[in-house]
Structure 1
Amino acid sequence: MDRMGKDISKDHTVKDHSQMDHSQMDHSQMDHSQMDHSQMDHSQMDHSQMDHSQMDHSQMDHSQMDHSQMDHSQMNHSQVDHAQMNHMQMSAHDHSHHEMSGMDHSMHMGNFKQKFWLSLVLSIPIIFLSPMMGVDLPFQFTFPGSDWLVLVLATVLFFYGGAPFLSGAKTELKQKSPAMMTLVAMGISVAYFYSLYAFVANHFLSGDHVMDFFWELATLIVIMLLGHWIEMNAVMNAGNAVQQLAALLPKEVIRKNAQGKEERVPLDQVVEGDYLIVRSGDKVPTDGKIIEGETTIDESAVTGESKRVTKKSGQSVIGGSVNGNGSIVIEVTGTGESGYLAKVMELVRSAQADKSKLEALSDKVAKWLFYVALIAGVGAFLIWLFISDVPTAFDRMVTVFVIACPHALGLAIPLVVARSTSIAAKNGLLLRNRRALENAHEIDALIVDKTGTLTQGTFAVTDVLSLGTLSKNEVLAYVAGLEKTANHPIAEGILTKAAAEGVSPKAATDIQSEAGIGLSGVINQETWKIVNQKGLTQLDLTVPEDKIKHFKEQGNTISYLVHQGEIAGIIALGDQVKPEASEFIRALKEMQITPVMATGDNQEAAEAVADYLGIKEVHAALLPEDKEQLVKSFVAQGKRVAMVGDGINDAPSLARATIGIAIGAGTDVAIDSADVILTNSNPKDVLHFLSLAKQTRRKMIQNLWWGAGYNIIAIPLAAGILAPWGILLNPAVGAILMSLSTIIVAINAMTLSINKKDE
């Protein structure tokens, strides 16, 4: 890996490991000797194929790393070479934002599917051999020693299948934010340990029979595992924007040594002050200053500017951009963490870390349910202890805790996510972050990039007009002939168009350039000119406004072909507005969403497109940090912001926005920073997403009410609030309520759909 890639990779403060798929990584040559993994978030790392057999862990600090749920048995890093990755400084950085999210550790590591199926196998005998809340079901049976078998299976199930929830609860409590994992952990822990007490009491102590909860323990663990598995399968695996940034740079460069000779060296050996040769078509390897040569640079991938930029001696170039036709020598001014791409990557990491703090809807419900159950359970124990005895008080408390963790809650959100993700895929939407569906309601503003989102993203010929006897192809042939020897973006666009149309440029001689006006040349012994509007005015020529009005509205560059004092043709170049963009902006306004343009392109081009589309708020000539700050300012005002973009310069703002939406034809870095990907690269699909998100959230809320809402009645009854009137919640009734809520949740999720017009 090159120096930039290497330095980007080594600074893990800017890397979000939560999204990394290590399933094919070769760590066999990695030096982990100084790596501090103590606070790394491995919660979504897929280790299922990783082989650690060659890894030197002898000096690794694992003291605070929870590997309890990691399955290394099938781990294999043999497919990706990290031999050049330098992780030596990782321990010095703060990974606090990347601690385990509370979902769990093993769920995202390849053994989660196995954990569910093994837990199901362990649960089946328990379901057949133990009663449901003290009630024997018709299909259940017992035999001598069956209760011992149930105890053994339940113990294995609790520590194996329940481990992700126990680990997740530990993290949530450590972060002082109890949520779903804490609620589930409380339910299964109370069910298991009370059942263990019941087993001992019933077999070794005299007295009344004590009801156990082994049946509830088994079904709760299996259903919760199933719910999370469904949810993970529904949402595609996330990528790593930082790795994509590193991939933009070449691995080797051509350097001029002290003797002036050329030498090919790895990029990681380049230091500031070195002279590098960048030939036509090469990627610019580092930030630098041109000291020899002149060229055009395509910076669209990193700045969003669609038009190639002319660069001369003394001007700066950005690492990751693409050199045009000229060959240049640059003096290196920035490598590693001082380079432009590294700064963009830092913005992405910071934004992702902040947005990761957003709380899921189900976690909010689970948090309140946890507190309600805890207060109700402890309160019931104290009250019953005062009016009755310890066994009765203890029984009431346990019943409250078990009732408070309904099975349906584990499926309420995952089933809706699975359904909505399937519908989204059929409509050209890939959901990378399921929380996007929850957060997309009531969007106040949609910040949209111009280049590649509202426009096609390429500076090219948009139209050719003939105003005389020449055909369109003849106009193109004459213009291409005059521009054939030129080295600027307009010439490149014209020659590319001619080649695409199969038009051969006319043979031109005596070509002369007039600065700021155009150029002239001789074709077939006659003088032909290409001029801009200024040149047209000097020649005292005019063109009908209706001929060029459309080009002006879209901010196109217009060139005129002049012959014998008359305009023979017109050629327009620019970044063409997508046909569906106008309808998209109009629909946003109808939805009371304010469209805002944010682009790295120049002010003139941005305003032209904005006026054409009816966008009132325009921010042009923005760097990545400017875009990110713009999004940040909206969020600071309490507004919910969606961001649509496709370039590297959009990546930080995509990560910062409430919802980041990437155009599928954009850069991998932008795609990896987003929550949603438009696979058809059609901005109108944003409308489909917003429609689906609104209905998805409605279903989620409905399911959460069905999954947890019955606790409004069940918890007080379980606590014995109506005991003075002789009413206590029958455990069988509680079980029936839980079963019904689970069935209703499943049916309700399957009824999710979007309007026919969105399909």
Structure 2
Amino acid sequence: MTEHHHGHEHGAHTQHMQMHDDGHQPHEHSMHMGHMGNLKQKFIISCLLGIPIIILSPMMGLSLPFQFTFEGSDYLVLILATVLFFYGGMPFLQGAKMELQQKSPAMMTLISLGISVSYVYSLYAFVNNHFFHASAHVMDFFWELATLILIMLLGHWIEMNAVSNAGDALKKMAQLLPGEATVIDEEGRTKEVPLTDVQIGTKLLVKAGGKIPADGVIVSGQTNVNEAMITGEAKDVFKSVNDSVFGGSVNGSGTITIKVTGTGESGYLSQVMALVKQAQSEKSRIESLSDRVAKWLFYVALFVGLLAFAVWLAVSGDVSVALERLVTVLVIACPHALGLAIPLVVARSTSLGAKNGLLIKKRQVLEVAKTVDVVMMDKTGTLTEGNFSVNEVTSLASEWTDHGVLAWLAALEKNSNHPLAKGIVQAAEKLELAIPQAADVQNIAGVGLVGMVDGATVRVTSAGYLDEHQLPYDKALFTELSRRGNTVSFLTRDDQVLGLVAQGDQIKYEAKDMIAVLKNQGIQPVMLTGDNDQVAHLVAEKLGISQVHSRLLPEDKETIIKNYQADGHIVMMVGDGVNDAPSLARADVGVAIGAGTDVAVDSADVVLVKSDPADIIHLLSLAKNTSRKMIQNLWWGAGYNIIAIPLAAGVLAKAGLILSPAVGAVLMSLSTVIVAVNAMLLRINE
């Protein structure tokens, strides 16, 4: 049975890999929000400071029904506004500093411009009105300052709450290795040593169920090793003397001795982690839509404001009039609605996604996913179930039934812990067959399993063994079953072929529809797998995928994605194993199957909680609809500036139309309400 045990391509044995970065560029919001500490606490304290300001100071010169003043209330407003500016506004100011250092002003710079101008000009207004008693009362912007800080903090809090924090994939990978290893010295004595002390060439004892501490070669013993977190392919791999094992994989029921071939920097997982770090630093940096709008608004506001100041100064000769125009332009250009436009849509789409089994971990992917034109998918676990089951049992001897063949196969396989053996035993137990007793069962290299059942010598073996010993069997049936991607084993008794069993991975039934929908939408499906060419093409043919790359190592998958990206494609990668992590990292959108490994889940942008390939379609649909809502909200939130900024600058002053700050504030409030309502109308399938 060794041939059929080893015949399956587990793929991707000496792979390196890398992992997803957080996708945030240095001037992305959440980077700045790192300065915020506890957002909820900051928002609540800012509210306590801001609400009295909103009640005690007029809205850009316009008194609202709930507002009142008392003797000295303006001093209280000044004190509260100063504390609020430095406490609630500090994250934005620090964020702006980072953006300006990177020569890329965006949302933080625009917010900082609005709050700084509001505060400084209000300070000037306060001093002017209280100490110089100038004839003309100078209007302050304390109300604007308070509402701007509160709404922007609220927007960021909503967004941070909505998007789950990405796990630390590197930390998860480090945890795959145990802290200690059992070393065997020259005299055969064992002792526990820290993993860091293990050298190449050292012999280690790995007990059943333990984690393999380092890369090595088995020098004694045999076992099954769970390499799922490494290869992502069929779950357990049979290993005996001279087979390689990887640090971080999990030993099965046998005790083995290994000779270390790689540890520390040279170990497989270390190389994986190095590649992951590299991916994290190289990930294409997506400048979010709201940042692009903010950048545009910043430059326009600054240019128009300064131009208005110069023109009004030249025409009126009055610095205070010119200054008020400049300030009005700069304050109006920082719309409240812009701070909520994207967070509200993100919050809505994240909760919609969660209800539909999509865990969206990085919000930028929703902006990118709508442009995806290639979806690359790992085969095992993504398009197929990833576990071997009996597809067919056929009797090849007239006096034997199919059930009889399966019962005798199960008798020999019962004590084996090979994954193919488990499939046979499970099939027999499911049918409640009476499994006879087998004695003296041995694993014989090049043959398979041999043992005694009812006094006869019984073997489970491969077609190669039958050909070698010139035992007749149904070659046409064998070829047909193999062509369908099955591993075929034969049962013989005293050199008579009794029957065969065909085992294979099952295609997920939703996968075919998903591929059809992708092709319908003009998106090209591509299969990437570590499995062999025959199996890969077979599965691809059944699913209708024309582009297949097989026998891949993790770095090969990542290179293929890089090549597609270099050709201008926007690539989504869907996978479930550690060996998919580099590709998840490199792809524009990384999607992990929820039943996969922690490392894959952590390195992805989106997790399909239900492990259902059909959810890829929901994700693409949600991304398109979310993106549309974002654009609508940005128009509502910032679009009115196309009219408001020129009016605030006074382009129609000759016609007697100047946008007063108060009217600007009303417009802002209105756009904030529209943005909020519009976000709530988002649906997955519209």
Asked whether the equivalents of residues 344 and 625 of structure 1 are also in contact (C-alpha less than 8 Å), the reply is no
Letter in 2 for 1:685: D
**Aligned counterpart in structure 2 of residue 458 of structure 1, from 367, 381, 387:** 387
**Aligned counterpart in structure 2 of residue 753 of structure 1, from 662, 683, 686:** 683
What residue in structure 1 maps to residue 6 of structure 2? none
**Aligned counterpart in structure 2 of residue 691 of structure 1, from 607, 612, 621:** 621
**Aligned counterpart in structure 1 of residue 657 of structure 2, from 702, 714, 727:** 727
Deviations 1:516-536 (A, max 9, x none): 565565432445554434456
CA distance in 2, matches of 1:209, 1:418: 43
**Aligned counterpart in structure 2 of residue 185 of structure 1, from 112, 127, 130:** 112
2:344 counterpart of 1:415: yes
What residue in structure 2 maps to residue 204 of structure 1? 131
Runs (4 or more) in structure 1 with deviation over 6 Å come to 14-19, 510-515, 564-567
Letter in 1 for 2:491: L
CA distance in 1, matches of 2:141, 2:338: 18
**Aligned counterpart in structure 2 of residue 216 of structure 1, from 128, 144, 147:** 144
Q: How many residue pairs are counted as aligned between the two chains?
A: 664
Distance 1:519-1:295 versus aligned 2 partners, 3 A rule: closer
Cα displacement (A) at 1:182:
0.8
CA distance in 2, matches of 1:231, 1:438: 15
Asked whether the equivalents of residues 464 and 472 of structure 1 are also in contact (C-alpha less than 8 Å), the reply is yes
Matches within 5 A, 1:609-688: 609-688=539-618
Distance 1:470-1:127 versus aligned 2 partners, 3 A rule: farther
2:469 counterpart of 1:542: no
**Aligned counterpart in structure 1 of residue 353 of structure 2, from 410, 414, 424:** 424
2:172 counterpart of 1:240: no
What residue in structure 1 maps to residue 294 of structure 2? 366
What residue in structure 2 maps to residue 134 of structure 1? 61
2:671 counterpart of 1:741: yes
CA distance in 2, matches of 1:410, 1:261: 66
Distance 1:732-1:488 versus aligned 2 partners, 3 A rule: closer
Asked whether the equivalents of residues 235 and 386 of structure 2 are also in contact (C-alpha less than 8 Å), the reply is no
TM-score scaled by length of structure 1: 0.82
2:324 counterpart of 1:395: yes
CA distance in 2, matches of 1:413, 1:532: 60
CA distance in 2, matches of 1:739, 1:199: 25
CA distance in 1, matches of 2:432, 2:198: 43
Asked whether the equivalents of residues 344 and 624 of structure 1 are also in contact (C-alpha less than 8 Å), the reply is no
Asked whether the equivalents of residues 469 and 568 of structure 1 are also in contact (C-alpha less than 8 Å), the reply is no
Partner SS, residue 297 of structure 1 = strand
Cα displacement (A) at 1:270:
1.8
Cα displacement (A) at 1:625:
1.8
CA distance in 1, matches of 2:430, 2:36: 48
Deviates more, 1:208-217 or 1:729-738: 729-738
Asked whether the equivalents of residues 459 and 574 of structure 1 are also in contact (C-alpha less than 8 Å), the reply is yes
Cα displacement (A) at 1:715:
0.7
Cα displacement (A) at 1:170:
0.8
Asked whether the equivalents of residues 695 and 754 of structure 1 are also in contact (C-alpha less than 8 Å), the reply is yes
Asked whether the equivalents of residues 20 and 276 of structure 2 are also in contact (C-alpha less than 8 Å), the reply is no
Asked whether the equivalents of residues 22 and 280 of structure 2 are also in contact (C-alpha less than 8 Å), the reply is no
Distance 1:513-1:727 versus aligned 2 partners, 3 A rule: closer
CA distance in 1, matches of 2:483, 2:124: 79
Letter in 2 for 1:421: T
Distance 1:99-1:338 versus aligned 2 partners, 3 A rule: farther
CA distance in 2, matches of 1:178, 1:541: 75
Deviations 1:667-714 (A, max 9, x none): 000000011111111111111111111101000000000000000011
Distance 1:236-1:559 versus aligned 2 partners, 3 A rule: same
Distance 1:644-1:738 versus aligned 2 partners, 3 A rule: same
2:265 counterpart of 1:343: no
**Aligned counterpart in structure 2 of residue 440 of structure 1, from 340, 359, 369:** 369
Matches within 5 A, 1:211-610: 211-306=139-234, 308-355=236-283, 357-389=285-317, 390-465=319-394, 473-484=403-414, 489-495=419-425, 497-498=427-428, 505-509=435-439, 521-526=451-456, 528-534=458-464, 538-542=470-474, 545=477, 551-552=481-482, 554-562=484-492, 568-610=498-540
Asked whether the equivalents of residues 21 and 279 of structure 2 are also in contact (C-alpha less than 8 Å), the reply is no
Asked whether the equivalents of residues 20 and 279 of structure 2 are also in contact (C-alpha less than 8 Å), the reply is no
What residue in structure 2 maps to residue 195 of structure 1? 122
CA distance in 1, matches of 2:615, 2:98: 38
Letter in 1 for 2:86: F
Asked whether the equivalents of residues 16 and 240 of structure 1 are also in contact (C-alpha less than 8 Å), the reply is no
Cα displacement (A) at 1:251:
2.5
> Could you say what the CA RMSD is over the residues aligned between the two structures, in angstroms?
2.8
Deviations 1:352-383 (A, max 9, x none): 33336211111111111111111111222222
Deviates more, 1:435-444 or 1:313-322: 313-322
Distance 1:446-1:501 versus aligned 2 partners, 3 A rule: same
Asked whether the equivalents of residues 25 and 285 of structure 2 are also in contact (C-alpha less than 8 Å), the reply is no
Deviations 1:110-168 (A, max 9, x none): 52101111111211111111111111122221111111111111111111111111111
CA distance in 1, matches of 2:443, 2:81: 86
Asked whether the equivalents of residues 305 and 602 of structure 1 are also in contact (C-alpha less than 8 Å), the reply is no
Matches within 5 A, 1:156-171: 156-171=83-98
Structure 2, unmatched stretches of 5+, are 1-17
Asked whether the equivalents of residues 533 and 559 of structure 1 are also in contact (C-alpha less than 8 Å), the reply is yes
Deviations 1:400-441 (A, max 9, x none): 100000010011011111111111111111111111111110
Asked whether the equivalents of residues 594 and 611 of structure 2 are also in contact (C-alpha less than 8 Å), the reply is yes
CA distance in 1, matches of 2:66, 2:517: 57
CA distance in 2, matches of 1:17, 1:199: 48
Asked whether the equivalents of residues 490 and 500 of structure 2 are also in contact (C-alpha less than 8 Å), the reply is yes
Letter in 1 for 2:333: A
2:100 counterpart of 1:173: yes
Partner SS, residue 380 of structure 2 = helix
Deviations 1:261-303 (A, max 9, x none): 1112232332223211123333211112233344443322202
TM-score scaled by length of structure 2: 0.90
Partner SS, residue 555 of structure 2 = helix
CA distance in 2, matches of 1:658, 1:624: 17
CA distance in 2, matches of 1:266, 1:146: 67
Letter in 2 for 1:190: V
Asked whether the equivalents of residues 21 and 603 of structure 2 are also in contact (C-alpha less than 8 Å), the reply is no
CA distance in 2, matches of 1:568, 1:313: 32
Cα displacement (A) at 1:745:
0.4
What residue in structure 2 maps to residue 90 of structure 1? none
Deviations 1:183-205 (A, max 9, x none): 10110000000010011111112
Cα displacement (A) at 1:480:
2.0
What residue in structure 1 maps to residue 13 of structure 2? none
Deviates more, 1:203-212 or 1:682-691: 203-212
